[in-house]
Amino acid sequence: MTGQRGRCNSGRATQIDLSGRITHAPGKIAVHRRQRAFAGGQHAEVASDTGAAARCTNRSPRLRKDFQVAQAHRLQVDLAGGGNNHHANIRADGFAAQDIGRNGQVIKASVCAGAKEDLIDLHILDLPNRRNHVYVRRTGDDHSYLLAVGAAVFQEPRFKTSDQNAPEELLWILGAQGVRDYQALRSSESPQSQAFPDAGTYILRQDDLYLLLNTSGSGVKGRGSHGHNDALSIEVSACGTAFIVDPGSYLYTADLSERHLFRSTAYHSTVEIDGAEQNTIDERAPFLIGNEAQPRVLGWESGVEKDVVIAEHDGYERLPQPVTHRRTVTFNKSDRWWLVADDISGEGEHELAFRFHLAPELEIKVRPDGIVEVCDKMSGARMLIVASGITVQAGLEERFSSRDYGAKQPSLSVYWRLRSALPFTAYFGIVPIASGENVGDRIRIVEI
């Protein structure tokens, strides 16, 4: 059955085939699966004839190859046909069509582990303008309704969180029966820490505490495309508030300087050395990125008391005096805090900058004792960043964050910048504080 012809938010003509088969124009990607999905990219067409889709793929080896490497185009899973930007994303390198089928454990495990308390941003890569079917106005990175829709469609209790009411989209998409199906499901247990090595995503979480470490490479077999210089960057959500965030993409070709800025190392929560990028990027080539960093995970351990992940990258090996950045993140579950240790190894003196990109609309101050205190005035939740091994005072840099394509909000980045001989190690305790908890008591649990 062929659906209505329409236009997606980016202005590209599309056609939806409710049989679930999708094909691109020649030279793009082809997908065949049972669920509905959306294929992004110039001149994206969904076959109105399932036989035509099959014939197109069978005749074109390049189509099959381009799907495997994904090129610069995005395929995303959205039961309503859409999606958003990249936080806990699954890179499409070598991704087979069957991996995203109805019973694909990749999606189930990823959604369960990747759901934050404040929002969910779990999909397979992105479209520039996010959702294509808008039933309720949401920011571009808010996919919280998708878990409820998935729970009802797949009868999957793991997609139903204990405190999630049926969202309005559920009624629009599945009707009253869908709402009843959802309400009949038992609530799932709280998601636990989990590693997704193929995606380069490591999630250290418990209850309302969530930290994501990104160890993914440039993507697209080293050609980068939509990738950013975010190797070993982290995101932190705690007590229902997103504190440390990815800045988003903001724009593509409409403003090359902004595109360049939002994908730079300095815009992400990682370490910049000698002002260099982790991977080479050129403002004139907005969809190309080097492959120098090549992050690798050296260790992952998840237990009842703590989680530990160790990773490093070689992006700074190309400097005149080569440098390696290794980051170790330890999650102390009983005391509810994370320790981030940044080991910078090499020779000679170097300019080091340690940054954490903070979400918009937070109150941020550097206390007299050097501790950075971040507060969500609406909920009362706080986060402390306690630095050790660094003699310089923390500073604040003006930044922007984008939750919707083409829109940005002022935000701040906290940084420590110094020049030092190598090797050098800096430690950062990240301590969440729920509303009503004593700040002094929480500081005393930090052991660095």
Domain ranges of the chain: 2-184, 194-444
Average pLDDT over residues 216-223: 84
Average pLDDT over residues 163-183: 89
What is the C-alpha to C-alpha distance for residues 382 and 128, in angstroms, rounded to an integer? Answer: 32
Query: Nearest to residue 274, comparing CAs of 167, 350, 379, 382?
Result: 350
Burial profile 169-195: b = 16 or more Cβ within 10 angstroms, e = fewer:
bbeebbeeebbebbeebeebeebebbb
* CB-based contact 359:350 (threshold 8 Å): no
pLDDT value of residue 159: 87
- Top pLDDT among 117 and 325 is at 325
Determine the residue type at 84: N
List Cα–Cα distances, 143 to 35, 291, 361, in angstroms: 18, 30, 20
pLDDT value of residue 277: 98
* 225: pLDDT strictly greater than 50: yes
- Top pLDDT among 216 and 89 is at 216
Query: Nearest to residue 101, comparing CAs of 37, 53, 163?
Result: 37
List Cα–Cα distances, 36 to 16, 39, 82, in angstroms: 9, 10, 10
Average pLDDT over residues 307-333: 98
Burial profile 300-313: b = 16 or more Cβ within 10 angstroms, e = fewer:
bebeeebbebbbbb
pTM of the model: 0.74
Average pLDDT over residues 41-51: 30
pLDDT band at 41 (very low <50, low <70, confident <90, very high): very low
* 108: pLDDT strictly greater than 50: no
* DSSP class of 191: P
- Top pLDDT among 203 and 62 is at 203
pLDDT value of residue 72: 32
* 86: pLDDT strictly greater than 80: no
Choices 2.30.22.10, 2.40.10.10, 2.70.98.70, 3.60.70.12: CATH for 194-444: 2.70.98.70
Determine the residue type at 6: G
* DSSP class of 229: S
The secondary structure of 129-179, three-state, reads CCCCCCCCCCCCCCCHHHHHHHHHHHCCHHHCCCCCCCCHHHHHHHHHHHH
Burial profile 388-402: b = 16 or more Cβ within 10 angstroms, e = fewer:
eebeeebeeeebbbb
Residues above pLDDT 90, as percent of the chain:
59
Cβ partners under 8 Å of residue 383, min gap 6: 236, 238, 241, 243, 244, 373, 374, 430, 431, 432, 433
List Cα–Cα distances, 43 to 80, 398, 448, in angstroms: 21, 38, 54
Residues in the chain: 448
* 372: pLDDT strictly greater than 50: yes
Query: At CA 345, angle to CA 342 and CA 219, rounded to 5?
Result: 70
Q: How confident is the prediction for the chain on average, in pLDDT? A: 77
Average pLDDT over residues 188-200: 90
